[in-house]
């Protein structure tokens, strides 16, 4: 049996209808029939029929005052359904598995809950000596890699917007001086990733990056964690940081982020 390429099955009219919808991506205002005809290199009558069909199904709306068109509510519903079906944890799973395989260390994703970050999925490495899952544990913001990510990237107005007034000490490496923490957060924004080395748990190091979705908002953080004697500062910056940055970028892209 000869397998035909999927492009052989493309229905031209459906393809044109999707071309019409895609013209509105990233457009803040409305578009008229004449403009769409020019962009798509289609006759105005064809464009009008496509718009009429899409309008009847709720994917396109017409402004009766200007007679121009914009996306309809069905597009919003479609996007919300996609976001639900292909949500954060579902998309993160394959990324976590790949990070564990490439780094040979444990990996997890976390979300912010109030004044803490909470790991919501965790994949352990196969190393005999490894960081084991701590799902659901509330991690402080100022001395964990994931927490620093949220402090650094939660607001476009600047770093440390949700930095607590009182900073608790967990180990002798915990930084509790507010100005020093703010300095770290500015560095995190410059680098694109955050690092902790024994600041929350003695002998444990982590590196984390932000995860954003189609709204461009921060929805969580992605991290690699392992024993500090393996995850040295040099190894983190030379080997682990590129892996986690790539993983964070891929996860954000899967969630619809474009940036």
Question: Which of 58, 82, 106 corresponds to the end of one domain?
Answer: 82
| pLDDT at residue 248 in the model | 96
Residue 111: inside a domain: yes
The structure tokens 């996007």 sit at 79
162 and 41 within one domain: no
Residues 169 and 96 in one domain: yes
Of 20, 48, 82, the last residue of a domain is 82
Mean pLDDT (the chain) is 88
Number of domains the chain contains: 2
Same domain, 102 and 151: yes
- 197 and 222 in a single domain? The answer is yes
**Same domain membership, residue 190 and residue 124:** yes
Asked whether the whole model's pTM tops 0.75, one would answer no
Within this chain, do residues 73 and 124 fall inside the same structural domain, yes or no? no
Give the pLDDT confidence score for residue 82 in this predicted structure. Answer: 64
The CA-CA-CA angle for residues 94, 98, 101, to 5°, reads 140
pLDDT at 83: 61
1 within some domain = no
Shared domain for 160 and 234, answered yes or no, is yes
Q: Does one domain contain both 103 and 224? A: yes
Do residues 209 and 193 lie in contact, with contact meaning Cβ atoms separated by under 8 Å?
yes
Domain assignment of residue 116, yes or no: yes
pLDDT (tens digit per residue) in 187-220? 999 999 999 999 999 999 999 999 998 888 898 9
pLDDT (tens digit per residue) in 93-134: 999 999 999 999 999 999 888 888 988 888 888 878 777 777
* pLDDT of amino acid 38: 94
Last residue of a domain, one of 82, 106, 125: 82
| Domain residue limits at 25 | 6-82
Structure-block tokens of residue 184: 């770290």
pLDDT tens across the length of the chain (259 residues)? 555 666 677 799 999 999 999 998 877 789 999 999 999 999 999 999 999 999 999 999 999 999 999 999 888 888 767 665 557 888 899 999 999 999 999 999 998 888 889 888 888 888 787 777 777 788 999 999 999 999 999 865 556 667 877 899 999 999 999 899 999 999 999 999 999 999 999 999 999 999 998 888 898 999 999 999 999 999 999 999 999 999 999 999 988 888 7
In three-state form (DSSP H/G/I as H, E/B as E, the rest C), the secondary structure along 88-154 is: HHHHHHHHHHHHHHHHCCEEEEEEEECCEEEEEEEECCCCCCCCCCCCCCCEECCCCHHHHHHHHHC
């Amino acid at each position: 049996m000869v397998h035909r390429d999927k492009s052989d099955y493309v229905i031209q009219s459906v393809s044109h209808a999707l071309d019409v919808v895609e013209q509105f991506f990233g457009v803040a205002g409305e578009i008229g029939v004449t403009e769409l005809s020019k962009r798509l290199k289609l006759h105005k009558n064809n464009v009008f029929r496509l718009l009429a069909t899409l309008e009847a199904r709720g994917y396109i709306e017409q402004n009766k005052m200007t007679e121009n068109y914009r996306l309809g509510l069905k597009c919003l519903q479609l996007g919300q359904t996609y976001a639900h079906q292909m949500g954060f944890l579902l998309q993160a799973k394959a990324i976590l598995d790949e990070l564990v395989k490439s780094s040979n260390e444990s990996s997890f994703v976390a979300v912010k809950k109030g004044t803490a970050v909470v790991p919501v999925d965790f994949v352990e490495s196969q190393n005999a000596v490894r960081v084991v899952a701590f799902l659901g544990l509330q991690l402080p913001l100022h001395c964990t890699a994931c927490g620093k990510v949220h402090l650094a990237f939660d607001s476009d107005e600047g770093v440390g917007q949700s930095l607590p007034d009182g900073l608790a000490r967990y180990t002798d490496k915990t930084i509790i001086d507010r100005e020093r923490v703010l300095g770290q957060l500015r560095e995190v924004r410059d680098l694109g990733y955050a690092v902790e080395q024994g600041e929350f748990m003695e002998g444990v190091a982590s590196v984390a990056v932000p995860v954003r979705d189609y709204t461009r908002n921060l929805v969580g953080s992605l991290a690699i964690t392992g024993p500090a004697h393996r995850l040295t500062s040099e190894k983190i910056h030379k080997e682990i940081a590129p892996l986690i940055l790539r993983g964070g970028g891929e996860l954000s892209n899967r969630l619809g982020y474009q940036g």
